[in-house]
Amino acid sequence: MSQEGNSSDRPAGQDPLLLLKTLQLLWTKKEMKKQLKEEIRRGFAGLEDPLAGLLDMLESSGDWKGKGHSLGYYISSELQLWMKEHPAVQQSGMKLKKLQARAFRILDQCPANLLDPLISIYQLHTADRNYLLGHVSHLYHRGDYKEAAILSIKLKLQSDQDVEKMCAPLLFQDKINLVEDYVGEHPELQCRLLQILDTWCEPDFNIRDMARQYQGLSRYKPDKLNRKMLSKLIFRLLDRFNVDPALCPNVINQRHLRTLNYLFYKRFVEKTMTQENWTDHVQSTVGDNRWLQGHLIQLLLRYCDLNTAARWAQHCSLPEEMLPSEVADELQKLEIQERVEEATKEENYKEVKKKDYYQLPIPRANIHLLQNWEDMVQCCEKVLQPGQIVGIDMEWKPSFGMVGKPRVSLLQLAVRDEVFLLDLPQLLEQAEVKGEKEKLPHIIQMLYSDATITKLGYGMSGDLSSLAATCSTLKGMDKQSQSVVDLLTIDKLLQKSSIDWKKGSLKVDALSPEQSCEDEGLRQPEKGLSLLVQHVLGKPLDKTEQMSNWEKRPLREEQILYAASDAYCLLEVYEKLCKDPESFGLSSDLTESLVGKASVKPRAKKQLNKQEVPSPSGQQCRGSDKEISRPPAPISPKEFSVVCDNMLQGLGRYLRCLGVDVRMLENEDDHRKAAEIARQEGRVILTSGLPYQTLQSQVGEGRCFSVNCSEKAKEQALQVLKHFNVRVTLADIFSRCQVCNCDKYLKVPKERMRQLVEGSRNSLGDNNTGCPTSCEEEPSRTRSAAQPVGTAPREQLEGMGSCGADVGGTALQVAAIPPGVLDKAELTDFYCCTRCGKVFWEGSHFGRVVSQFQDILVPTGDEQRVYELS
């Protein structure tokens, strides 16, 4: 009988090696695979220790050492499955450790496919971690880098290993997939790997020197692992692992440098990029990166002149040691030139201010900044004299929407020919040190409660509220104040007046901001105290220092002069009003009616919690110079004119459809053309993205609006209409030609239009030998101006030639009318644009537009008629 036949009659596998021989014989016969599986299971069931038996078989046979599936792998896999059915064979304690030690010797030589069964059967992941790391280290130092990495992954040892040490030889052997598996489940290792690869991209890093550290590298190709390949690998891993690119500054810088080179090529070699676009892209690419800024200067020296390089170096604030010597020298010359120009500009500005703004009529020596108590003696003697008139103002750091009342930093007291500026923080601190905390509040209380001293202010209720927030003992002082004159009350009386100012002044009606601004676009309209000073004394206050940081010390000279002017002008305004109140439209008993309690002002002055919202015309709502402005008044589309940047043509078409006067830049136009059109025609610029920063500086405040480029054109149109408070009615829809923006139409009866269409076709059929396609109107026939769409023109279109169609020299586009339109019974008239000749007729397009914008339409009660584009 054959060996196969006898195997079932023998005692079942008492000796593992006899079992191995039986299995080897069956393994050679492919058709016996099912019997092989049964023999393996029967054999393991008969072994006293199946786990030790497997090791005996593997140690005595070497067939499993090769690649592919071997008998050793087949036996191990079957034992792994059999053990799940017979968990009692699992070992533990010292016996398991001995088995693990034998298994590790096999691991040194076994292929990767045998790792999983052996690790599972002998629970190798539970072995001593130092022992596991030592075994991997043994493989590593033997040059088996791939095997060491695979075993580390299987045993989850990565967190205790050096990622560079383990992954570098794998990269040199082009085993990138294995590297990704090694760090795949460890975010901290992913970041560390990317940082290592990024250091390899440094300009001075030598990859060949790194490779020499690893002995026995197989398949190493030095030229393949270059910076270009590394850069691609890094960006792929950044995307796969979703890691912050900031971890890889070298490769990011290299990519930005390539972008810079490309931008210089496009601008100076191909010459296909405008200066404005090129500048925007260069600035966004370089940012604050010193390394890129240095390379930018080198590129500028190569493509541009020395002066341009110096100006960019100045713009980037590059230190001198980073600059080439010639650029540093040019920068010094440039800075000297700018200082001279700035000084000249400052002198000119001062001269203009003297000419255009209110000037203090007292010498600088009469302005006293009081920062210690010794200086307060002279102030108290002059200010607290009976019968004295004192102008009072206060300054504090702008709150910019912060909660709570601001603390007063400077208290200004003006008397005839002198101004005292009290540094409250300094004085209060000194008083507290001396134990005289109530001294300064007592002086202020004496001033406000003395009925013999007239106190002048502007919006004093808000000032007193801030003063109380600065010093708690001054709370409720507004109720104790006597002989207070709040010029805000006078300002309100003046605004209600309607008579002419005497001595060549403007009318009081002219108090509206747009009229008070002499040069709209160059200077904002005056308001509040500045406006009052302008109308009473002839020139407004210079408010450029109003938004200073009044807590910072020392105060600048400009701040001191501004603070003194704010208080002293109150004296001069009051004096002039008292001398001749009738000339300002006020009652003759002005002094008696105003001296008393401080007026109640609804908001504290200098409230900055809300932002001004300029109207399309640059208008701001009038009020105190330290109050917020109101939103713009509602306007109709006819009053609103814009110029759309070339990236917003869809928005422009929507706005024109709603009756807004829209000019649109062509695709090839430079963005700066929008500013030229806006200045020349008084239009608001609509733009988006980077051009906004450039364009807004070239027009007046509120004359440039940045649209959200991520939204669709319809949402952009709604955003613009809401911001500028444009009220659209049914009559505004299609009130302008959608092609040329003209708002003049002429009405043509259907039968007359039919004649024009047939005449045009006949002319074309005669090969242009007959009548011309357009004719001038007869000189004797005249018509009134065309009416907008939706209203009936006052006269019909008349005087056209019999074989052409013409409006004042503009040929009508009658050929564009489809034949079926003229046969519609419900149509009675057509409407023609007097500028481009486009023909319109009643259709369904109007209803679609109304449905799109029904939420913002303002009802008028009149039935409107509009016409669909041909």
pLDDT digits (tens, 9 = 90+) for 54-81: 898 888 887 776 666 788 888 888 888 9
* Residue range 753-778: mean pLDDT, rounded: 58
Pick the CATH number of 364-495+528-591 from 3.30.420.10, 3.40.630.30, 3.40.50.1370, 2.40.40.20: 3.30.420.10
Q: What pLDDT sits at residue 296?
A: 96
Query: Can you give the length of the chain in residues?
Result: 870
Q: What is the DSSP string of 33-63?
A: HHHHHHHHHHHHHH-S-HHHHHHHHHHH--G
Q: What pLDDT sits at residue 32?
A: 76
For the record, the structure tokens of 86 come out as 């017979």
Rounded distance between C-alpha atoms, residue 154 and residue 151, angstroms: 5
Residue-wise pLDDT for 280-339, tens only, equals 999 999 999 999 999 999 999 999 999 999 999 999 999 999 999 999 999 999 999 999
Residue-wise pLDDT for 567-586, tens only, equals 999 999 999 988 888 888 77
**pTM beyond 0.75, yes or no:** no
Please work out, in degrees rounded to the nearest 5, the angle formed at the alpha carbon of residue 233 by the alpha carbons of 227 and 239: 140
Confidence of residue 207 (pLDDT cuts 50, 70, 90): confident
Q: What pLDDT sits at residue 321?
A: 92
Rounded distance between C-alpha atoms, residue 444 and residue 446, angstroms: 5
Cα dihedral angle (299, 304, 306, 309), rounded to 10 degrees?
-50
| Average pLDDT across the chain, whole number | 81
Residue-wise pLDDT for 238-280, tens only, equals 999 999 998 999 999 999 999 999 999 999 999 999 999 999 9
For the record, the structure tokens of 674 come out as 């929008």
Q: What is the DSSP string of 113-152?
A: GGHHHHHHHTTGGGS-HHHHHHHHHHHHHTT-HHHHHHHH
Pairing of strands 839-842, 867-869: antiparallel
CB 839 within 8 A of CB 809: no
Q: Cis peptide leading into 319, omega within 30 of 0?
A: no
- For the chain, which residues make up each domain, given as ranges? 13-127, 128-247, 250-333, 364-495+528-591, 637-728, 742-761+803-869
Confidence of residue 788 (pLDDT cuts 50, 70, 90): very low
Query: Look-up: residue for tokens 């290299």?
Result: 254
- Amino acid of residue 829: D
Rounded distance between C-alpha atoms, residue 212 and residue 169, angstroms: 10
For the record, the structure tokens of 461 come out as 């209720």
Q: How many CB atoms lie within 10 A of CB 316?
A: 20
For the record, the structure tokens of 166 come out as 């383990």
Q: Which CATH superfamily is domain 637-728 in?
A: Response regulator (3.40.50.2300)
* Residue range 840-853: mean pLDDT, rounded: 83
Cα dihedral angle (190, 192, 193, 197), rounded to 10 degrees?
140
Residue 512 has pLDDT above 50, yes or no: no
Q: What pLDDT sits at residue 667?
A: 84
Rounded distance between C-alpha atoms, residue 203 and residue 223, angstroms: 16
Residue 798 has pLDDT above 60, yes or no: no
Rounded distance between C-alpha atoms, residue 570 and residue 654, angstroms: 51
The residues, ordered by sequence, that sit 6+ positions from 462 with a Cβ below 8 Å of its Cβ are: 601, 603, 604, 605, 606, 607, 626
* Residue range 372-384: mean pLDDT, rounded: 92
* Residue range 842-846: mean pLDDT, rounded: 80
Name the helix (H) or strand (E) containing 831.
strand 829-833
Task: Report phi then psi at 830, rounded to 5.
Answer: -120, 155
CB 529 within 8 A of CB 606: no
DSSP 269: I
Q: What pLDDT sits at residue 561?
A: 95
Residue-wise pLDDT for 120-134, tens only, equals 998 998 888 998 999
Q: What pLDDT sits at residue 691?
A: 82
